[in-house]
Amino acid sequence: MERTLTIGLTLFLTLWLDIPQAGGQKDGAHGDSAQKRSSHSSDSKGRCSYTFIVPQQKLTGALCLNTATANQSEVLALRAELKQQQEQLEKLRGQLEQEGALAIEIRALRKESTNMNSRIAQLYAQLLHEVITKKDQALEQRRVENLLLNATAQALQVSSNYRELEKKYGALTSMMSSQNQFIARLEKQCQCKDSTQSAVTEPPKSQPNVDRNYSSEANEMTNDVQRDQSAPSPQQENTVGVHSLPTTTTSTPADSPFISFPVTKTPGPWRDCQHVLQSGETTSGIYLLRPQSANRLLQAWCEQSRAQGGWTVIQRRQDGSVNFFRTWEQYKQGFGNLDGEYWLGLEHLYWLSKQAQYKLRVALEDWQGRHVFAEYDSFHLEPESDWYRLRLGQYSGNAGDSLSWHNNKAFTTLDRDKDSYSGNCAHYQKGGWWYHMCAHSNLNGVWYRGGHYRSRYQDGVYWAEFHGGSYSLKRVSMMIKPI
């Protein structure tokens, strides 16, 4: 009977524990004695499992029954959720790695940006230094130009003072000459026989111009260099005596530096004398020029009173005060006195004639006061690499054409023989010119006083079509002007 009761109770408990969770919880709540004899455990879902120990009289030991059951669907759900969380973790880990690489790249870019900023700062400092240097150079150039303009203004004042002194000197010379003539007449009346006194009071006897020009001593000097033919001969100097008047010329050729004295109030600079005329300056004089495309300043005489003005004088002969038997370098740079005889310079002439189309005018005057001219409708020079070769246009005028024969010829000096003659034409003609074989004109030759001259060679200042090659002209000038 007790064994049947034990098996029946076991089956009843088994059936009772298989009912839903709520029922089990409710029965468990009202069974205080059962709770006291059971051990309780709960999981995360609130499910409870009970183990009942039933005392047996016949069987020894305890009968244990595990009533826990596995919920397969919940396990699968948990596994799916775990797998999803692992995938999200992997995804987050990949994003973290990408962000780490991006951070490294950003750090490298920041470093490169810092280096670039440093380089830009360095280049900016270098550029600023160069700008400051160029600004200083521009200021220095402006300062030098201002000094040059001030110097020209001061030279203007010196020139004006010099002219005033010349006028006073001329008046004193005239007064002394009159007094000497008066003393000479008084001594003649007294018939003084003292030879020394007669030598002092006797007025000097002038020698004919031909004798001065044709003396053997003058001919010997012109074999090597030009001389001032207006100077008195040695015979004249001996006959003057101790009371002879001082003269303004010397017996040797003047070799003054190329220094000019401006005579205008506005020193410039201008492109050429035509630009000076267009600027309102109508007075002939010395002006400061700066040709276009040439970083050089030069001074030249601007002739504004003849042939409608605007002429830049490039050569002038009038008194024999300057020696024109010069070297290549001197003809290149220029020489003489802008107030008198001078040569502008082949290099200056090249840059002047390069900036526009120019025409050439050659003005001539003989010893009888006759004025003629020769004009060429185009004129320019080639550079020094081509020996300043002459390029001329068509002739017009009343002096005759004595320069076209020299067209397309290189310039020749005593130390640069570029003519077509077997010898050096500059040696025979005593000057520098665009010689051919040798010359139909020689405006840079020896200045002889009186016109006709005698010499071993035709070395005078001549224009063959005007009085021939044996006639040295009194005044000549070469001028250029834009067309």
Q: What is the CATH number of the domain that holds 324?
A: 3.90.215.10
In a domain, 296, yes or no: yes
In a domain, 379, yes or no: yes
pLDDT confidence of residue 39: 42
In a domain, 227, yes or no: no
pLDDT confidence of residue 328: 96
Residues in the chain with pLDDT values less than 70: 1-70, 191-267
**What's the predicted TM-score (pTM) here?**
0.51
In a domain, 57, yes or no: no
pLDDT confidence of residue 51: 65
Q: Give the domain range for residue 309.
A: 273-482
pLDDT confidence of residue 373: 97
pLDDT confidence of residue 462: 97
Query: Which residue, 152, 157, 419, 420, is CA-closest to 289?
Result: 152
In a domain, 40, yes or no: no
Question: In total, how many domains does the chain have?
Answer: 1
In a domain, 311, yes or no: yes
In a domain, 415, yes or no: yes
In a domain, 443, yes or no: yes
